[in-house]
Structure 1
């Protein structure tokens, strides 16, 4: 029996996966006494830290009682399900983390279903039992019911449960008894997760993720399924389509702590990083040189949404970005396909526009935000759901939407969701909140979050999960209000904004450069209004006392990238540059909008 355990940590977003990994790393003495490691060690890129979510899965390993435990931290958000699906192939068991108050959320169901289908052994960790009005016993019952509904085997249904608080750094089998360490969890991993199996025979290793180093280029990461992989060994790379490419391994690394350690060989069951193989993709198999055998290719769920990406052609083109040409945009999008399995890129009839397919608003917005920080300038159109024809019937993606809100505002939420063709399935109390479950077209969720948060004074907790393709539900009303559009190019003035405040709410501050056709704010009515906010005050040498009013301007509304994506309509673009995010009409002049706009509105 070899002393290796491979576990993946899965949970709904914000239930404490990365914090738990922090505590495991600290308790297994990965760091020197004088080393400050900080918090959320694995969320190591800026976007992950800012948003407090995991976007890319990470591998680390710890030593506990002479056993090497490889830990895979996975994203919790449904939009990054593609990440979870492929890295579960490296694990023999999973830690399913659940919030002691919220219980099993939609994303928990999604990843648990994938893990159970692969036959992985689960350990359930009920986290955050230090929270007020938490309900650990109810959550345990809820998870047992979830496993049963997902057709878990007898062995999987007999799962161990550990209670605790990863933030406070303790775990125990009894939630009422607080300990001072997380060793009960580590012991449960050694007792319940099967050791990584040793399989004799010719080499088989599937590439399930990749890394990049500026010194050696692309690095393949995966688990050795059979045989032994050695340094300088000649191998065959079996592509997804069955094509075989001969290659040679230059260097091998295994994971130790937060880093990698160079080794000469790795036997089956361990996770390793391979340097020296060119032209590989995720899902390819590294196999024996003479008798290559392919492992089953990773299947990833289809995307449900697409967006048009095009070069920036606004009057401010090239002022703020480093990469602005269609060639650069195309290269970057195709490079993203190498590691982002749930993404698709399709060329359009236009030479400088691409349709990018993804899992949802967050999936696409993280790509846009990453490109923006790398210095790219571009424009993106309104997100569109993917429509399919199944047995001659027009079908669209339907999502399960779960909203937890204070009881007194639940009526407003139900009204907002049903306006968008949502159907209320379940309404029940959950602690001091009302728990609502709906089925709603994916189109209806775009732009819903802002309205729900406004109606509930920010107290709603929303989560959704793709359910299935079902027949088209009919038209859904779009944005209720029109927009305020700039008539002129120039700099905004406080005087002009002040005079037009009764026409709507502004998205721009005084002293900002704007151009004709840019969207400056939201109109109070349902039609678009063209305005001029570059007008200054006419100054003369004649002054009458008491006629100079001080300008009082309401603060401008600042949208995040996701809010912009949910806000815009079919005839509008978001202009994204490293320094700013602007909303604009596709056709900048009023004349063009009158001639060409009619065809867009009908879409």
Structure 2
């Protein structure tokens, strides 16, 4: 069988999309007049940031072979999608920028490809640059792969070495294995929503065949639907009669709800159902949560419509309506990671012309608490996490501190690749972030791989910026979810004039609560203007005030009109002013400007 299914994996900005472009151009898959840079990255945001957000697939004709290039998202936030895309292949091109060497995601992708039993072809890119050192990068890669595999030397920008690479793909990557006459099984590795045709499903056939007119069945979700159209990508959709074992293509089956089509699910036939699904399927769960509010309250219906439309093309985020006393009506969103938050917020603002505030991101906690009837309705509606724990994704839903028995927070295994000279600074940072040392491995004399277990909440808050700062931009990191562990974390409420402000509540470690509370109070003192009465800004943890700042009252010069006369007259005016301020302080309310929330969310926490 002359089919080869492969993927290109690399660290961000190592030239993965550029190499895809060269392969498409050199094989004549896309005519030169239609060729554009970053062809597979169709989204404007993808082109700007130089990252792949949505996976793509394209069929390439090379000599008498059919090559299926299955593109993968390049960022760590989308690691589940990367794993699904790799399962649809028999081999990978492991791309390394020869001028930068091995990075953290190179390590993660290499180990993932090896664990899936894929044929790995190392490729050294950007060898035409004067600062590149392909030999050193290749040695580093050998240490990661634990075997010396000859690497291809290419320049994706100029096209140098791409012809030889294509030959290597044909000779080294094995042909697809499966039962061409068996019960059909196809792996879903991506899907997108077309407003006219419904959900378009990208699949790789593992067994049997699928044809137009047949009724498919999704083994994970149980959905059945008639196949209206079937074909392959060039990268445009090209209709054909059917897909056979080993082929990669798309299916249109009139499915209107994209949430019923999950990445990793198995497609089979309703009247000839496979005995078991393909392995590795799991429900993707959001790991980071943030609330999004419109800056102008009347834009709330527009935000709801925008989220509904965006969720059709990106089903990996979840959302539900939320009300904040401080910020009004908005939505609570669940994301795959920090970059995912940025992308969704930016797409909402750009594509739907909205001005939005996103609250500080926080992770999901598992909390065990006493079941008292006095608890509000929200607590009884929380999802179960097992062993008596409840899932809490919003600090506002934390039970009263006296009722909490135990809190578990999610941890991650973090892998950092850094030049040796920055090793001490990186390890000090990890220690500050409550990291636990696992192992260290030197790759060549110049680079080191450091592995730690760390609370995910510490990575969410400003970890990336600090890592780049201590390593002068040379360190890179990759992470994977580990497990939930009991921890001394507490809810810190911010009180303005004695009233808690829900949008500013944060979950922090007990040892850091006082320092963080003081920083938040100091910042708020600057941001909230002086009122006619004195205002207390306080941070409260477990019922105790751990930090306080006081915003002094404005003072009108009431005795300016007194040019002389008895001192008792002046004193009488001052006492009257004092009484007025005292009464105002007891009944007054503080209006917190929107700018204060925006600025608070940007401060270094």
Give the TM-score range, shorter chain.
Answer: 0.5 to 0.7
Q: Distance in 1 between matches of 2:233 and 2:244?
A: 14
Instruction: Select which of 352, 374, 387 maps to 2:351.
Output: 374
Structure 2 gaps of 5+ residues are 368-385, 388-405, 489-508, 532-536, 538-546, 554-591
Superposition deviation, residue 291 in structure 1:
2.4
Q: Which residue of 2 aligns with 1:421?
A: 434
Give yes or no for contact 1:573–1:584 (8 Å, CA) kept in 2: no
Instruction: Select which of 164, 184, 192 maps to 1:211.
Output: 192
Give yes or no for contact 1:309–1:378 (8 Å, CA) kept in 2: no
Q: Which residue of 1 aligns with 2:558?
A: none
Q: Distance in 1 between matches of 2:550 and 2:130?
A: 50
Residues 1:405 and 1:89: Cα distance change in structure 2 (over 3 Å): closer
CA offset digits 1:497-524 (Å, max 9, x no partner):
xxxxxxxxxxxxxxxxxxxx9xxxxxxx
Q: Which moved more, 1:20-29 or 1:194-203?
A: 194-203
Superposition deviation, residue 57 in structure 1:
0.9
Instruction: Select which of 219, 227, 234 maps to 2:208.
Output: 227
Instruction: Select which of 231, 240, 252 maps to 2:230.
Output: 252
Q: Which residue of 2 aligns with 1:466?
A: 480
Q: Which residue of 2 aligns with 1:5?
A: 4
Q: Distance in 2 between matches of 1:120 and 1:429?
A: 23
Q: How does 1:57-96 map to 2 (within 5 A)?
A: 57-96=55-94
3-state secondary structure, aligned to 1:170: coil
1:365 aligns with 2:365: no
Q: Which residue of 1 aligns with 2:529?
A: 487
Residues 1:531 and 1:8: Cα distance change in structure 2 (over 3 Å): farther
1:266 aligns with 2:246: no
Q: Distance in 1 between matches of 2:184 and 2:141?
A: 38
Residues 1:362 and 1:574: Cα distance change in structure 2 (over 3 Å): farther
3-state secondary structure, aligned to 1:583: helix
TM (norm. structure 2) is: 0.67
Q: Which residue of 1 aligns with 2:48?
A: 50
Q: Which residue of 1 aligns with 2:39?
A: 41
Give yes or no for contact 1:99–1:128 (8 Å, CA) kept in 2: yes
Residues 1:396 and 1:130: Cα distance change in structure 2 (over 3 Å): same
Superposition deviation, residue 49 in structure 1:
0.9
Q: Which residue of 2 aligns with 1:276?
A: 253
Q: Distance in 2 between matches of 1:190 and 1:487?
A: 69
Q: Distance in 2 between matches of 1:443 and 1:285?
A: 34
Superposition deviation, residue 384 in structure 1:
1.4
CA offset digits 1:381-420 (Å, max 9, x no partner):
211133458998835313425264694x776555544333
Q: Which moved more, 1:445-454 or 1:362-371?
A: 445-454
Over aligned residues, Cα RMSD in angstroms? 4.0
Q: Distance in 1 between matches of 2:360 and 2:240?
A: 49
Residues 1:269 and 1:531: Cα distance change in structure 2 (over 3 Å): farther
Residues 1:93 and 1:452: Cα distance change in structure 2 (over 3 Å): closer
Give yes or no for contact 1:385–1:397 (8 Å, CA) kept in 2: no
Q: Distance in 2 between matches of 1:428 and 1:269?
A: 40
Give yes or no for contact 1:74–1:83 (8 Å, CA) kept in 2: yes
Q: Distance in 1 between matches of 2:136 and 2:71?
A: 26
1:356 aligns with 2:346: no
1:308 aligns with 2:286: no
Count of residues in Structure 1 that have an aligned counterpart in Structure 2: 474
Q: Distance in 2 between matches of 1:359 and 1:106?
A: 19
Q: Which moved more, 1:390-399 or 1:446-455?
A: 390-399
3-state secondary structure, aligned to 2:74: coil
CA offset digits 1:567-602 (Å, max 9, x no partner):
xxxxx9999xxxxx970669xxxxxxxxxxxxxxxx
Superposition deviation, residue 124 in structure 1:
1.4
Q: Which residue of 1 aligns with 2:167?
A: 187
Superposition deviation, residue 32 in structure 1:
3.5
Instruction: Select which of 309, 314, 331 maps to 2:308.
Output: 331
Q: Which residue of 2 aligns with 1:140?
A: 138
Q: Which residue of 2 aligns with 1:16?
A: 15
Residues 1:244 and 1:116: Cα distance change in structure 2 (over 3 Å): same
Residues 1:191 and 1:367: Cα distance change in structure 2 (over 3 Å): same
Q: Which residue of 2 aligns with 1:100?
A: 98
Give yes or no for contact 2:231–2:238 (8 Å, CA) kept in 1: yes
Superposition deviation, residue 311 in structure 1:
3.8
Residues 1:239 and 1:435: Cα distance change in structure 2 (over 3 Å): closer
3-state secondary structure, aligned to 1:165: coil
Give yes or no for contact 2:434–2:455 (8 Å, CA) kept in 1: yes
Superposition deviation, residue 529 in structure 1:
8.5
CA offset digits 1:361-400 (Å, max 9, x no partner):
1122212222222325544321113345899883531342
Which structure would you say has the larger Rg? 2
Residues 1:486 and 1:115: Cα distance change in structure 2 (over 3 Å): same
Residues 1:574 and 1:368: Cα distance change in structure 2 (over 3 Å): farther
Q: Distance in 2 between matches of 1:436 and 1:240?
A: 38
Residues 1:103 and 1:485: Cα distance change in structure 2 (over 3 Å): same
Structure 1 gaps of 5+ residues are 149-156, 172-181, 490-516, 518-525, 533-571, 576-580, 587-602
Superposition deviation, residue 5 in structure 1:
1.1
Q: Distance in 2 between matches of 1:50 and 1:267?
A: 37
Superposition deviation, residue 433 in structure 1:
7.9
Q: Which residue of 2 aligns with 1:500?
A: none
Residues 1:47 and 1:430: Cα distance change in structure 2 (over 3 Å): farther
Q: Which residue of 2 aligns with 1:400?
A: 414
3-state secondary structure, aligned to 1:374: helix
Give yes or no for contact 2:140–2:443 (8 Å, CA) kept in 1: no
Q: Distance in 2 between matches of 1:335 and 1:437?
A: 37
3-state secondary structure, aligned to 2:107: helix
Q: Distance in 1 between matches of 2:254 and 2:482?
A: 38
1:27 aligns with 2:26: yes
3-state secondary structure, aligned to 1:185: helix
Q: Distance in 1 between matches of 2:114 and 2:127?
A: 25
3-state secondary structure, aligned to 1:184: helix
More helix by share: 2
Residues 1:418 and 1:216: Cα distance change in structure 2 (over 3 Å): same
